[in-house]
Copies of this chain bind each other. A is one copy, B any other.
Amino acid sequence: MSSAFDFDADSPPAVREAIRSRAYRGFTNVVARRHVQGNLMIVPAAHADDFAAYCALNPQALPVLGRSEPGSPHIPALGADLDLRTDVGGYMVFRDGELSATQREIGALWRDDLVAFVLGCSFSFEGVLQRHGVRLRHIDEGNVSAMYVTNIPTRPAGPFGGPLVVSMRALRAADAIRAIVVSQHYPMFHGQPIHLGTPSLIGIDDLSRSYGGHGLTRLHDDELPVFWACGATAQLAAHQARLPLCITHYKAHMVVTDLPVDGLVDS
């Protein structure tokens, strides 16, 4: 797989350098596949403890991999050289809950009261699933998994709350069974699915209308939709909380960390 890239796509520092230098602009679900990737959520320090509490109350959607010190764009435990102002392929900037900009780096916006959180992401276990023989058609097709807003409420904390967001993978039955067995061992990447089969039972009326409008949404006749809790739950919560400022990664451009996926297995 790495041969398709002109940098070492298996190396997290090399991937981050390629993103930072804009040599790589693609989705991160096809690079650094043996290392943990995460959702980025940056909030003002005044809201950081509430956000941490919200994550703790909803750990299947929002497993916290790391949190920066106030004012620091670094989380050394996730990567010695990691700079969260430049090392993500795209950022969304929300002001008062509304998307105000998408941009390639956020150095000019950084403030000494910002706190960054990195949350577990299902991209981390997709490589694991494939190594267990699970076919992920969205990856074969160069796509990403689709996300949906459910009717399942999260447990609120402070201004944060709202519905659970899920990611969906189209899997054949035998692969769905295998994926359930494997993913339960990775609670830091959302663990086992929260639903499979009929989408309307969790408030999804139309699979073709995904959250954000991207991802594989059309099932083959021999596939089931399988739904995992998703870190995008945090984005929706931050939107609804109408924080004065909130910065997240842009869809499918995740924080690439140095943590080996196999180091977070819960056997």
State how many angstroms separate the Cβ of A177 from the closest Cβ of chain B. Answer: 6
Mark A190-221 against chain B: 1 for CB-CB distance below 8 A, else 0. Answer: 00111111100100000000000000000001
* A43 contacts B by Cβ under 8 Å: no
- Identical chains in the assembly: 2
Whether the pair B181, A197 counts as a contact (CB closer than 8 A) is no
User: Do A222 and B198 form a contact, CB below 8 Å, given A180-B181, A181-B180, A181-B184?
Assistant: yes
Interface size on A, residues (CB 8 A): 18
Mark A162-189 against chain B: 1 for CB-CB distance below 8 A, else 0. Answer: 0000000000011011001100100000
* A48 contacts B by Cβ under 8 Å: no
Whether the pair B194, A174 counts as a contact (CB closer than 8 A) is yes
* A78 contacts B by Cβ under 8 Å: no
* A224 contacts B by Cβ under 8 Å: yes
Mark A57-80 against chain B: 1 for CB-CB distance below 8 A, else 0. Answer: 000000000000000000000000
Interface of A is mostly: mixed
User: Per a CB cutoff under 8 Å, which of B174, B193, B198 touches A195?
Assistant: B174
CA distance A136 to B195 in the complex (A): 18
State how many angstroms separate the Cβ of A172 from the closest Cβ of chain B. Answer: 8
State how many angstroms separate the Cβ of A145 from the closest Cβ of chain B. Answer: 17
Q: A174-B195, A197-B197 are in contact. List 8 more A-B contacts (CB 8 A).
A: A173-B196, A174-B194, A177-B195, A177-B196, A180-B181, A181-B181, A181-B184, A181-B192
